[in-house]
């Protein structure tokens, strides 16, 4: 009896499709995954069907997604591969000779979207980037640019708790923005500064945009240039863009942009943009967090003790805040504090982010808090930001200033 030999064809395509990314261990059972995006869910389920049940159910799954989202180019491409398998010529990302760059970018998108499910971080792990969320930061965005993924975490008593995650595109030339026009997305901790409505935008940006505060104080200290880094959607003709597509902006599908818009509060919501998110077990994560909070607490009590040697020992020789190096900072602090009988510092609304840096850089943390300062001859309230760097086994302050 004649039939299309299903096993060979689709096993070949499935493994070729899965083969576009490294598979670490067994994938989680898909039934247990709550997908953040239904189109991506269809794509992943199609691949899973292909491995288990053959081409037909895989095509049905894809067709359902494509009817709703006719501009999902990757979906059409994979459908093409499945149909070629049915035609008796199994192929995965190799059958196309024309437009090799476009094909390669679709392959990258497939890799990013699939590896989220077939090479996922352990489910109970926590991102080291998010160590403490302040009460007003109800949600935080965390971007893993290597995986083209943006995670949304909500704040549960200062501890991040996973909400959803989405496929994202970043700059054409990747991350670590250095200067204007380098088509890179900045690496760092930023804040959504405002919200731009659809009516004020051209179609290219989709349903809206959230500008970020790039360059921040750390970028300025490092003489980085450029501006206009936004989170935004896609043009109406495009469902999703390749992993590296923008001039530096963070781009989501319009479906996903609408979802993150529910979580974003302009002026408050932080976004951490990392090249690769580091995950820790809850125990490791708590230990990392405890070390930093102990350093901050020692800094505060040493300041309150008015023991200037101990207090200034928290500052790095590399300290530099708005042009003041460590010696002028130390001299100024000694002079001010010499006349005081007491100092009392209250810290509230604390947030701690491990700062994303290039892999060879020393670990750094961005700590922001409301400081209520009282002394024998003076008092003030301010929002303060410090950057701490780990030198050996000590965390040292390398930047400190009022936060905007």
Task: List contacts with another protein (CB under 8 A).
Answer: 1-5, 8-9, 70, 73-77, 79-90, 95-96, 98-99, 102-103, 106
Q: If you write DSSP's letter for every residue of 28-96 in order, what string do you get?
A: PPGGG---S-HHHHHHHHHHHHHHHT-HHHHHHHHHHHHHH-TT-HHHHHHHHHHHHHHTT---SS-S-
Which is nearer to another protein, 192 or 251 (by Cβ)?
Answer: 251
- Give φ, ψ of 49 to 5 degrees: -60, -40
Phi, psi of 120 (to 5 degrees): -85, 155
- C-beta of 21: minimal distance to another protein in Å? 19
Q: Which residue has the tokens 């070390």?
A: 291
Q: How far is the CB of 113 from another protein (least distance, A)?
A: 14
Q: Which residue shows structure tokens 């250095």? A: 178
Structure-token match 């261990």, residue found: 25
| 86 vs 116 by CB, closer to another protein | 86
With vertex at residue 55, the alpha carbon angle to CA 53 and CA 59, rounded to the nearest 5 degrees, is 115
How many of the other CB atoms lie within 10 Å of CB of 171?
A: 23
Closest distance to another protein from the beta carbon of 80 (Å): 4
Q: How far is CA 118 from the centre of its chain?
A: 20
Q: What is the distance between the alpha carbons of residues 226 and 236, in angstroms, rounded to a whole number?
A: 27
Complex with another protein: residue 67 or 156, whichever CB lies closer? 67
Nearer to another protein, 96 or 372 (CB): 96
CB closer to another protein out of 1 and 223: 1
Nearer to another protein, 75 or 160 (CB): 75
- Residue 64's φ and ψ, nearest 5 degrees, are -60, -40
Please give the sequence-ordered ranges of beta strands (E in DSSP) within 168-268, or none if there are none: 170-171, 188-191, 196-197, 208-211, 230-232, 244-246, 250-251
Distance of CA 119 to the CA centre of its chain: 17
In whole angstroms, the minimum distance from the beta carbon of 167 to another protein comes to 16
Closer to another protein by CB, 105 or 368: give it: 105
**For 339, phi and psi rounded to 5 degrees?**
-90, 0
Pairing type for strands 149-156 and 159-167 reads antiparallel
Q: What is the DSSP letter of 116?
A: H
- How is residue 163 annotated by DSSP? E
Q: Could you tell me the smallest distance in angstroms from the CB atom of residue 100 to another protein?
A: 11
Is the bond into 158 cis (omega within 30 degrees of 0)?
no
What's the min distance (Å) between Cβ of 87 and another protein?
A: 4
**For residues 8 and 313, which CB has a smaller minimum distance to another protein in the complex?**
8
Q: How far is the CB of 259 from another protein (least distance, A)?
A: 25
Instruction: Select 55 or 365, whichever has its Cβ closest to another protein.
Output: 55
Q: In the complex, what is the shortest distance from the CB of residue 184 to another protein, in angstroms, rounded to a whole number?
A: 26
Least gap, CB of 170 to another protein (angstroms):
22
């Amino acid at each position: 009896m004649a039939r299309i030999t299903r096993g060979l064809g689709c096993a070949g395509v499935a493994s070729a499709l899965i083969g576009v990314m490294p598979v670490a261990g067994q994938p989680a059972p898909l039934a247990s995954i709550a997908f953040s995006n239904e189109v991506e869910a269809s794509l992943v389920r199609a691949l899973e069907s292909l491995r288990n049940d053959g081409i037909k159910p895989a095509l049905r799954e894809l067709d359902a997604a494509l009817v709703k989202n006719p501009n999902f180019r990757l979906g059409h491409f994979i459908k093409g591969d499945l149909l070629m398998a049915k035609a008796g010529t199994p192929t995965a990302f190799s059958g196309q000779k024309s437009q090799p760059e476009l094909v390669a970018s679709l392959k990258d998108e497939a890799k990013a979207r699939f590896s989220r499910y077939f090479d996922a971080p352990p489910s109970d792990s926590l991102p080291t980037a998010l160590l403490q969320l302040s009460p007003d930061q109800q949600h935080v965005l965390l971007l893993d640019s290597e995986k083209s993924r943006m995670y949304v975490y909500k704040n549960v008593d200062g501890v991040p708790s996973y909400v959803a995650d989405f496929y994202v595109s970043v700059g054409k030339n990747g991350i670590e923005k250095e200067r204007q026009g380098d088509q890179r997305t900045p690496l760092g901790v930023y804040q959504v500064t405002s919200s731009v409505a659809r009516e004020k935008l051209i179609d290219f940006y989709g349903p809206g945009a959230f500008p970020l505060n790039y360059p921040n104080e750390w970028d300025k200290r490092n003489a980085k240039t450029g501006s206009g880094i936004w989170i935004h959607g896609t043009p109406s003709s495009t469902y999703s863009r390749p992993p590296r597509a923008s001039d530096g902006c963070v781009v989501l599908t319009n479906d996903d942009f609408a979802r993150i818009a529910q979580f974003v509060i302009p002026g408050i919501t932080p976004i951490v943009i990392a090249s690769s998110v580091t995950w820790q077990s809850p125990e490791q994560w708590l230990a990392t967090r405890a070390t930093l909070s102990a350093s901050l607490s020692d800094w505060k009590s040493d300041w309150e003790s008015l023991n200037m040697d101990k207090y200034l020992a928290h500052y790095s020789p590399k300290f530099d805040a708005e042009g003041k190096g460590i010696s002028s900072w130390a001299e100024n602090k000694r002079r001010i504090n010499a006349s005081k009988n007491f100092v009392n510092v209250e810290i509230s609304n604390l947030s701690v982010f491990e700062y994303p840096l290039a892999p060879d850089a020393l670990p750094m943390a961005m700590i922001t808090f409301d400081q209520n300062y009282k002394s024998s001859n003076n008092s003030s309230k301010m929002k303060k930001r410090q950057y701490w760097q780990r030198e050996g086994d000590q965390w040292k302050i390398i930047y400190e200033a009022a936060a905007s």
